[in-house]
Amino acid sequence: MTKYAMVVDLNRCQGCRACMEACKVENNTAEGVFWMHVFRFETGEFPDTRQSYLPRPCMHCDNAPCVKVCPVGARYKREDGLVLTDFERCIGCRYCELACPYGVNYFNWRKPADSYFLDWGDTDIQAATGGAIPPYRNPDLDEPQGAERRMTAGGGHHKGVMEKCTFCVHRVEKGMLPACVTTCPVAALRFGDVEDAASPVSKFLREHEHFRLLEETGTEPSVFYVGGNPPGSETRQIETIEVGV
Amino acid sequence: MRRWWTWGMVIAGGALMTISYFFLAAPWGEDTVANSDPRLEFAPLLFVIGVIVAFSAAVVYELMPDRTDE
Amino acid sequence: MLSLTRRRFLQGSAVTAGALAAHRWLFGGLETLARADPLAQGPPVEDMFPTTCWIGKQDCGMLARRIDGRVVKFEGHPGNPRNAGTLCPKGQAQIVSIYDPNRVKTPLVRTNAKGQKGEFRPTSWDEAITMIADQVNEVRARNPKLVLWQKGRSKAKDFYDDAFVKSIGCSKLGHGAYCSDAGYRALEYTIGLHGVQHPDFQNVDYLLAWGWNITNAGGNKFCWLTWPRQMVVARERGMKIVHIDPRLRSAGPFADKWLPIKPGTDLALALALCHELVNQGYVDTEYLTNYTNGPHLVGEDGLFLTETVGEGDEAEQVPIVWSASADGPVRADQASQAKLDGTYEIDGATYRTAYQAFTEHLAQYDPDWAEVVCGLDAQQIRQVAREFGEHARIGSTTVVDGVQIPYRPVSIMSYHMAQQELGFQALRAMTYVAMLVGAVGAVGGMFSDFEWKIHKNYAAFEELTVGDPPYDYMLNKSKYFPINTGFPGVVAKVMLDPERYEVEELPEVCILHMVNPVAAFPGQAEIMASYEKFRFVAAITPWLSETADYYADVVLPAATIEKYEGVISASDGILDAKTLRLPPMEPLFESRGEIDIYLDLTEAIGTLFGDDGYLAVVNSELKLEGEFALPLDRKPTPREIFDRWARSQGLEGGIEYFERNGVWVKGLIPPEKRYGYAADPPFGGALHRIYGASLLAAQRQMQSKGADEIYWRDYTALPTWRAPTMESSPAEYDLYLISYHMIEHKQSRTGMVPLLNELAPHQRVDMCPRTARRIGVAEGDEVWVESHNAVTAETRRVKTVVALTEGIRPDTVAMPHHYGLWSVPESSDRGPTPNAIYPTGEGYMANTADQSFHVKVRVYPANGGDEA
Amino acid sequence: MAVRTTTPGLPYGVGRLTTAWKAFVAIAAAVVALGLYAFLREVTQGMRVTGLRNLGTGGGATWGLYITFVVYFIGVSFAGITIAALIRLFDLRHLRPLARMAEVLTVVALVLGAFAIVVDLGQPVRGVINLFRYARPQSPFFGTFALVLAGYFFASLVYLYLGSRRDAATMAREPTRLQGLHRFVAAGYGDTPAERERHRRASFWLALAILPLLVIAHSTLGFVFGLQIGRPGWYSALQAPGFVVLAGVSGIGLLIVLAAIVRRTCGGEDCLTERVFAWLGRFLLVLLLVYVYFLATELLTGTYAAGEREVDVTRQLLTGDYAWIFWASVALLVLPLGVLAWQALSRRWSIGLLVASGVAVNLAAIGKRYLIAVPSQTHGQLLPYEAGSYAPTWIEYAVVAGLLALGALVIALFMKFIPIIELPDESREEVTADA
């Protein structure tokens, strides 16, 4: 049986946020939505300063609080470990967002068409794109996924439903890697089947010390971090993303 | 007669609540994938109906016209 | 898909429109993909088309994912050695640029006066091209040099634009003076290679990351993406990084040791490191004796003792060395066992070896001295020197592909280090650090190019000619800048005051090729004033640049990625590979690729055809000969040009090879090409200059021709420390301003990409919290940053917001060099560019006419009405 | 047999539309319309028109004013049904005049609670459908939805109805425009001893069934917050009991206000005696004492041994952005406590002061609900996100105002059909005769 997990090599991460960008383009997420987010951290005082980076996708927890609290079962956990949102069932109560200790949920506060930075209504653009919004619109997102044939978050970006990182389920099911993993210039992100002892990620995890975020909350995340340390009380964020949505 | 109806509805309502809540709604337990769907769609509606039936018993109890003098 | 077609169908009748509205209200209006052709049936047609990145520096290989012919995503090209399937944030975000409604859509002609926000009327390509051609020809008739062709971003091989310059014989002005030119000149002068320092990451153990913006910017030859890929692997191998930079952020977590050096003092640190290496005995005498001019005898006049060989034109000056075997002076080319050090008597005159002069020169520069100058800890400097010397393993060799080569796993990575007043000499001194231990061209050592090709400047710099006025407006061969690559800042100053620089003729027509000097170059005020002087300005740009907005008479809409460009190197320094930029879709709007533009432009000017025409130059630049040569009487398409090139390279199917595979990997670069020691002759036959006699000679000529000290003082045979000009600013200007590159942006050219602005929305000034407390400001507060020009006493200021970080020297503040744009709505209101407060010209440029990005500033809260 | 009432015609102003009443209804209706308009804007433009934003990188709160009032409304519903049930269970005859208005209050509050949830949904219509279709018992939300809004609501409804039959029958004798309606409600009630006995029994068992339901209901509401380990400031065993008691406080408080209004407008002086208010006052006093105790313990745990983020949130309450709301709420709880205690000791009860206390504790309740919902979102992130902020927009205020107005409107209308005070019956007369 397959169980997908992501391994983040903090010894390599450059904090360049290419993964965030790849995610935004691949999943056509709207302004201010970061299914993948990369923290830039700082501790200590000059000259004994330490800086570090921490990518934060959805943790796809095995004991996912968001799945527990969803009143209508729109947030569900798959056999292969993916935690997804059936955006055709979601009622937009945003309870999952509150239950999640990682802050990975993003609600669609407005109409998708209003949320993509530029005026794609421009007639010359329309002529070239046939009215796709955004113009780099990915058709895979409109297809149901998995044995359940459910519309995983990401598709049409409903107004008023909850969405989050899907581990690029639409790519994974084609045998591809998530967009963030593929684009990472320094291969700091790894993805694969941790049930399969022979898989590269399993091997990598065996060979390296690793931690998971907020393990004390008992969420059993599927995202493992190699190298570095979990953010502590003295950790400061630098170069924060300011979102004007 | 009146008693029959009243108790009948109370029990029926209670049963409906229990069954829909524990057996027809989304299953409990570890089977994470399955338990996002109710075993029976609209099971929660059944639960609510159960509530209504049970409490309606009181109405029936009071409103049911007397057949014969007691 | 289905629900879409249904929706379109429903929209047929008004009744169902109502039903649709209800449906949308009930179920939140599921938006599904609109197809390019709404009536198209079946699944969308999908394919992956190879091209190369356009937004960044190094043209990473990409695959464009196309749905029904529309590009929806760029993925890295797995076969391209440089990025191996990966992309940086800019590479990912550029998808928006293709569809950007803010692009220039048609050729534009100015309808209002220059020097203000432009008003333009759309026009036809024909009219636009003709207007430019007429202007160019009018001036060419008098003096082609008065046509100034100015280029910003270098994309791909510059054959098509160079061919334009050569075919009409105009002047060319690049942007290198704001980049690393001073460094290139320093390395060309010192070791003869075209580039600045970078390591052999496969083997290096100890790296001085000297001002290298590891996590945010590129390096020598490559942009950001490729170097870090090699760096992280090297670190996992155990390589240690010493990060020399006022900011920690540039190295982030990768700094094993951080030397927060005071801005502008790198020359001092380099000299101190040399001092320590010599004192601690980490000196590779064998290398210095055989491959540098160290043994050459220097007279009291500071020039080499030479002997004239041959007669007339054949005559050349051969330097003299002191031979140990002969125990006397011998011609360098005949000497065995030349002495590296020592002072010697010849005919009553004393001579010392160049190396002897060097070591005596170093005596004054010990770490305790540097501690004060550089604001570093002397012990730390000593330790770094020791560790550098230890790791160098002087004397060791290793075998690479069967070739035995000296092994010196220590190196320096520096890129824009040259962007300071003492840049040229600093880069020379930094190179000496590697030279002392013999690390230049050794395995694991210091490189500056991937193949050991000696640049023509190496020989040219042996004799620096200082000509007489009048000078051309770039001051080439002038008494001001004997070494001079063309500096727009100087051109601006010359245009504003030609008499002062003894210049008579000024340029009249300017063609801006993908360049935005107003926003991207320091000395904004001077730059802007200078463009007022042009009679006619044409701009080739995808977006209305600020320069075009204010000064262009005609604007030509350039395509973004949807065009042919090349030839592009895909080498990662280990593999040799080539690629092309292929259009993944038709150019949007009326935009066109640059090659199309230049073909039309030269045709209109009348220089397209013929033996010295545009096509002829293209043929020679691309080495298209015989059957592959372009016919000189017919206008080719860009595709045909590259098809012929591909075939000339022996590729089956010509350009189709690239349309199929995207990249052409030629194979490994052999050690004989990579390693200077292994090259034949070693180091390409160039003797490394540890002593720059010709610089001293140039200085004397400059003095004799009456140049001011400010111009000649840094033309010294040995790098000599002096306090930078900015240090003489008044005390209240108590902070150093430096600028830096963010990974999210690329100079001024990504300001209009919303996906990138989302990540890095606006300008800021990085500041140490203790500095902020002193000034009385907090995170996010608005402040004025006011610079002071120590030469003219001029002050300039910009308003921005404070960003606190403990990763910066308390006496230094830093601003990203992006932002400050206004022409494109998306790019405007994002804060100023530091270029607005960097002075340009004397005191703020290197002796090689290259911009310095250092200035003293004061920072004070913007609250209160001191709008004075 | 004629019923003695203080006014001619139908008792307690039933069927009589005074100008003051009309004006009130008109204003209420207008506010409801405004709220509806705001809600429609929210539906069409998306919830971006509210002040709500995403947590974490969004730097906002995703639950705000709406959820605050969900909790508040459901809290209020507590009072009615409790009083009613207590009256039945312990046969507190002198309080019977309170019973009906209490029941009405419950039903109305529950309706508003349900609406408040709906307006907070990103997909309101889908929400109503999918909750009946997929609701999962595992989600604390289910408890709120199914138990409170369905069971609890329906129980109260039955209760209200059965209680009204007798009065309806009585009034049905009067030939008025409302006669038909009253006949229908009476449903053939003849006030025979058998019927009375049946009614007494039915009400008793209903009351018995409702009381546990009541506790469960308000607890589950508490669990909605209390079970979330991911939210500092929420994860606490005290949430459930705290919710129940604060519910009582706000409910009784509002009941006092309502009773005073009824007394003033519908001429209930004869039965809504000072004794009744005194009893309410004491009840409120007791609940207040308990709650203030909870509050203290909550604060102690929040500051003393708590995790760093917990402390962070608590600091925000005590000294941070939310301090003014917090301390205002505390004051609005403690002052009434003092006033009530003094009145209880001096045994002299002023309805004016009671009403003031009632209003005060309700404002406090709203404040507290807000402080439970919001700070844990803006300042309770476990990962080092920047602290967020939340300020409701006029849309949210308008919708909430609309809901409150709707409640007032419903009660005002109800009063004109069925007497808001249970009519006195023979048994009561006998009591007074004997006295």
**Three-state SS sequence of C171-185:** EEECCHHHCCHHHHH
User: Is C253 in contact with A53 (Cβ distance < 8 A)?
Assistant: yes
CA distance A240 to B8: 64
Predicted pLDDT at C68: 85
Contact A148, A73 (CB under 8 A): no
User: Is C252 in contact with A182 (Cβ distance < 8 A)?
Assistant: no
pLDDT of residue D281 exceeding 50, the answer is yes
Of A119, A164, A157, A114, which is closest to residue A138 (Cα–Cα)? A157
Predicted pLDDT at D265: 84
Which chain D residue is nearest to residue A92, measuring alpha carbons?
Answer: D122
Instruction: Establish if D122 touches chain C: CB-CB under 8 angstroms.
Output: yes
pLDDT of residue C42 exceeding 90, the answer is no
Task: Encode burial over C205-217: b for 16+ CB neighbours within 10 A, e otherwise.
Answer: bbbbbbbbbbbbb
User: Is D137 in contact with B61 (Cβ distance < 8 A)?
Assistant: no
Please tell me the distance in Å from C546's CA to the nearest CA on chain D. 33
pLDDT of residue C5 exceeding 60, the answer is no
C and B touch with 3+ CB pairs <8 Å, answer no
Contact C556, C128 (CB under 8 A): yes
Predicted pLDDT at C868: 43
- Which of A77, A82, A151 is the best mutation test for B, with the most CBs of B within 10 A? A77
Confidence of residue C552 (pLDDT cuts 50, 70, 90): very high
Instruction: Establish if A213 touches chain B: CB-CB under 8 angstroms.
Output: no
Predicted pLDDT at C862: 93
Instruction: Establish if B30 touches chain D: CB-CB under 8 angstroms.
Output: no
Subunits with 3+ Cβ pairs within 8 Å of D are A, B, C
Which positions 85-104 of A are in contact with B (Cβ < 8 Å)?
86
Contact C576, C86 (CB under 8 A): no
D95-139: per-residue pLDDT in tens? 888 888 899 999 999 999 999 999 999 999 888 889 889 988 888
Q: A-chain residues within 8 Å CB-CB of D138?
A: 68
Q: What angle do CA D400, D401, D406 make, to 5 degrees?
A: 95
D151-183: per-residue pLDDT in tens? 788 888 998 999 888 888 888 888 888 888 888
Contact D76, D254 (CB under 8 A): yes
Measuring CA to CA, how many Å separate D4 from each of D9, D10, D275, D426? 10, 10, 22, 11
Mean pLDDT of D329-339: 94
Which chain A residue is nearest to residue D117, measuring alpha carbons?
Answer: A93
Predicted pLDDT at C334: 85
Predicted pLDDT at C11: 41
Of A5, A18, A17, which is closest to residue A60 (Cα–Cα)? A5
pLDDT of residue C197 exceeding 90, the answer is yes
Of B33, B37, B38, the CB nearest to A77: B33
Subunits with 3+ Cβ pairs within 8 Å of A are B, C, D
Of C60, C89, C72, which is closest to residue C759 (Cα–Cα)? C89
A81-124: per-residue pLDDT in tens? 999 999 889 999 999 999 999 999 999 998 777 788 888 888 88
User: Is D206 in contact with B42 (Cβ distance < 8 A)?
Assistant: no
User: Is D46 in contact with A111 (Cβ distance < 8 A)?
Assistant: yes
pLDDT of residue A173 exceeding 60, the answer is yes
pLDDT of residue C44 exceeding 70, the answer is yes
Instruction: Establish if D23 touches chain C: CB-CB under 8 angstroms.
Output: no
Confidence of residue C24 (pLDDT cuts 50, 70, 90): low
Amino acid (one-letter) located at D210: I
Q: Is C509 helix (H, G, I), strand (E, B) or coil?
A: strand
User: Is A73 in contact with B33 (Cβ distance < 8 A)?
Assistant: no
Q: A-chain residues within 8 Å CB-CB of D384?
A: 39, 41, 231, 235-237
Confidence of residue B69 (pLDDT cuts 50, 70, 90): very low
Which chain A residue is nearest to residue C64, measuring alpha carbons?
Answer: A136
- Which of C27, C30, C31, C759 is the best mutation test for D, with the most CBs of D within 10 A? C27
- Which of D123, D130, D220 is the best mutation test for A, with the most CBs of A within 10 A? D123
Mean pLDDT of C350-378: 97
Instruction: Establish if A67 touches chain B: CB-CB under 8 angstroms.
Output: yes
The tokens describing D26, both together, are 């008109």
CA-based R_g, chain A, Å: 18
Predicted pLDDT at C146: 96
pLDDT of residue C166 exceeding 50, the answer is yes
Contact C861, C781 (CB under 8 A): yes
Predicted pLDDT at A127: 83
C389-407: per-residue pLDDT in tens? 999 999 999 999 999 999 9
Q: A-chain residues within 8 Å CB-CB of B38?
A: 73
Contact C572, C667 (CB under 8 A): no
Q: Could you tell me which residues are beta bridge partners of residue C575?
A: C668
Q: C-chain residues within 8 Å CB-CB of D122?
A: 28
Predicted pLDDT at D421: 87
The tokens describing C285, both together, are 């005498």
User: Is C27 in contact with D125 (Cβ distance < 8 A)?
Assistant: yes
Write phi, then psi, for C856 (nearest 5 degrees).
-85, 140
C807-830: per-residue pLDDT in tens? 999 999 999 999 999 999 999 999
CA distance C501 to C504: 9
Which chain B residue is nearest to residue A76, measuring alpha carbons?
Answer: B36
User: Is D194 in contact with B66 (Cβ distance < 8 A)?
Assistant: yes
Q: What is the sign, positive or negative, of the torsion defined by CA atoms of C164, C167, C170, C174?
A: positive
User: Is B36 in contact with A76 (Cβ distance < 8 A)?
Assistant: yes
Which chain B residue is nearest to residue D154, measuring alpha carbons?
Answer: B52
Please tell me the distance in Å from C863's CA to the nearest CA on chain D. 24
Pairing state between β C410-413 and C206-210: parallel
Confidence of residue C21 (pLDDT cuts 50, 70, 90): low
Of C88, C95, C804, the CB nearest to A136: C95
Contact D280, D361 (CB under 8 A): no
Of D43, D44, D126, the CB nearest to C27: D126
| pLDDT > 90: percent of chain C | 88
Q: D-chain residues within 8 Å CB-CB of A165?
A: none
CA distance D321 to A187: 42
B6-36: per-residue pLDDT in tens? 999 999 999 998 898 888 888 776 655 556 7
Where is mean pLDDT largest: C706-720, D66-80, D179-193? C706-720
Contact C261, C244 (CB under 8 A): yes
Please tell me the distance in Å from A15's CA to the nearest CA on chain C. 7
CA distance C181 to C193: 13
Predicted pLDDT at B29: 66
Instruction: Establish if D197 touches chain A: CB-CB under 8 angstroms.
Output: no
Predicted pLDDT at A215: 93
SS (H, E, C) C821-856: CCCCHHHCCCCCCHHHCCCCCCCCECCCCCECCCEE
Instruction: Establish if D297 touches chain A: CB-CB under 8 angstroms.
Output: no
Q: D-chain residues within 8 Å CB-CB of A228?
A: none
CA distance C417 to C385: 19
User: Is D56 in contact with A41 (Cβ distance < 8 A)?
Assistant: no
E strands, C430-481, are 446-447
pLDDT of residue D433 exceeding 80, the answer is no
Please tell me the distance in Å from A201's CA to the nearest CA on chain B. 24
pLDDT of residue C3 exceeding 70, the answer is no
Taking one residue from A and the other from D, the number of pairs with CB-CB distance under 8 angstroms is 162
Contact D311, D303 (CB under 8 A): yes
CA distance C385 to C381: 6
Please tell me the distance in Å from A67's CA to the nearest CA on chain B. 8
